[in-house]
Amino acid sequence: DAKTTQPPSMDCAEGRAANLPCNHSTISGNEYVYWYRQIHSQGPQYIIHGLKNNETNEMASLIITEDRKSSTLILPHATLRDTAVYYCIVRLYSNSGYALNFGKGTSLLVTP
Amino acid sequence: GAVVSQHPSRVICKSGTSVKIECRSLDFQATTMFWYRQFPKQSLMLMATSNEGSKATYEQGVEKDKFLINHASLTLSTLTVTSAHPEDSSFYICSAQTSGGPSSYEQYFGPGTRLTVT
């Protein structure tokens, strides 16, 4: 799986959009970008994933650059409960028994 | 979404004893489950891949005789930490991979088990 680079920490004011960047310059054509988050002392939670197109679900939006070398996870209206470590992971989709390779992630602190 | 449970959520044991942690997929079948370990302020580290009906595949540096994995059914995998030592104290997390259907090969994580060895 391609390696990802994320800032170690970010702050965001409650109610504002949180934009979490991720670099994955060595991503290959059939690798997807996945985002998970881990709230303290809990198991990781799936957020969203995408291949080329921007994706949106009830939790977040995923913006992938045209060259696919970077992406941004957007939490449109951050709440205190969004404080967590966010992991950007690049992996093959389907037909893959591979575990997720968690890097260090970005620790997001949402402040009142 | 799919639900994965772990039991127990917390366990304290004495050094030298063994501890079994269960990972269950509650509403789907999982031919593959993964076991991770997470030390404080660190990321998740893969320990082993568990496939139903076959031997687990361990990552480099993980002792298979110390961390026994059994995946006897499509909904249950167990991790037994044998002869536990204080350095085995950690947060153990499992994930279960779906197999087939609209969410093919997605992974869902359990809530984790906090092991403390005294």
Q: What value does the mean pLDDT of chain B take?
A: 91
pLDDT tens per residue, range A5-37: 999 999 999 999 999 999 999 998 888 999 999
Q: What value does the mean pLDDT of chain A take?
A: 92
A-facing residues of B in 38-77 (CB < 8 A) are 43-46, 49, 51
Per-residue pLDDT band for B100 (boundaries 50, 70, 90) equals: low
Contact A45 B114 (CB under 8 A): no
Contact B44 A102 (CB under 8 A): yes
Detail the DSSP E strand segments found in B63-104.
Answer: 67-73, 76-81, 90-97
The backbone torsions φ and ψ at residue B88, rounded to the nearest 5 degrees and listed phi first, read -85, -5
Amino acid at A20: L
Selecting from B34, B107, B112 the residue whose C-beta is nearest the C-beta of A42 gives B112
Per-residue pLDDT band for B104 (boundaries 50, 70, 90) equals: low
Question: What is the distance, to the nearest Å, from the Cα of residue B51 to the centroid of all Cα atoms in its chain?
Answer: 12
A-chain residues within 8 Å CB-CB of B108? 46
| Cα–Cα dist B88/B11, whole Å | 12
Is residue B111 within 8 angstroms of chain A, CB to CB? yes
| Cα–Cα dist A43/B76, whole Å | 17
Instruction: Return the DSSP state at A51.
Output: S
* Vertex A30: Cα angle to A25 and A31 (nearest 5): 50
pLDDT tens per residue, range B63-77: 999 999 998 899 999
Selecting from B49, B91, B108 the residue whose C-beta is nearest the C-beta of A97 gives B49
Neighbours of A56 (CB within 10 A): 13
